[in-house]
Structure 1
Amino acid sequence: MNHLQTALLLILLLGTLTQPNMGRNSIECCTEYVRNRIRLTLLKSFYETPSDCPKKAVVFLTARKHICADPSMKWVRKAKVHIKKLQQKQ
């Protein structure tokens, strides 16, 4: 039974690594960045984490989840431009 509990805890922990972390006053901060690029077709919108978060991040929203990304990465900057262009067309 102890192995089952440990495995379940590990699965839950891994699922939260790239998810925004809800802190005090519902401020969303990221603790980890996604490691791989995300296809542009999956991205619906984005927002940047507040300045009082310890780690600066861009949070991309897909149909199913929020994904934290490193704002200094070239693909992240290109994805932001792509999403802004799509939103202007609407």
Structure 2
Amino acid sequence: MRHLMALMFLVIFCSLQLTSSAPEASNAAKSKCCVKFSNAMIPLRLVKSYYRTDSSCPKPAIVFETDKRLICVDPETSWVNHHIAKVDMKTSTTTTITTV
């Protein structure tokens, strides 16, 4: 009887843990927060676009989009602002050309 009670307690305890962490997991997926940053400088030619993570994320980040993946970087890193400026310039030039 004790084994059955211990097993039931364990099942209930695990169920509560899963239930209480579910809202945090779903919010993180919606806001697309970065958990880790890449330390390597990404070649500018690979960067197609970028976006900033939501202000509700624990760490602010820039996410560079390449053809193959999304890469999280620290916005305080020196080369990141240079890449952002170049992507913005490339995007505005492309927009100007296509609208004329």
The TM-score range, normalised by the shorter chain, is 0.7 to 0.9
Q: Give how far 1:23 is off.
A: 4.3
User: 1:42 is matched with which residue?
Assistant: 46
Structure with the bigger percentage of strand = 1
- Counterpart of 2:70 (choices 42, 50, 66) is 66
Structure with the bigger percentage of helix = 2
Q: Displaced runs of 4+ in structure 1, greater than 6 A? A: none
Larger RCO of the pair (alpha carbons < 8 Å, separation 6+): 1
- AA partner of residue 71 (structure 1): P
**TM-score scaled by length of structure 2:** 0.66
**TM-score scaled by length of structure 1:** 0.73
Q: How many residue pairs get matched?
A: 69
Percentage of identical aligned residues: 33
CA RMSD of aligned residues (A): 1.4
Q: Which runs of 5+ in 2 are unaligned?
A: 1-24, 95-100
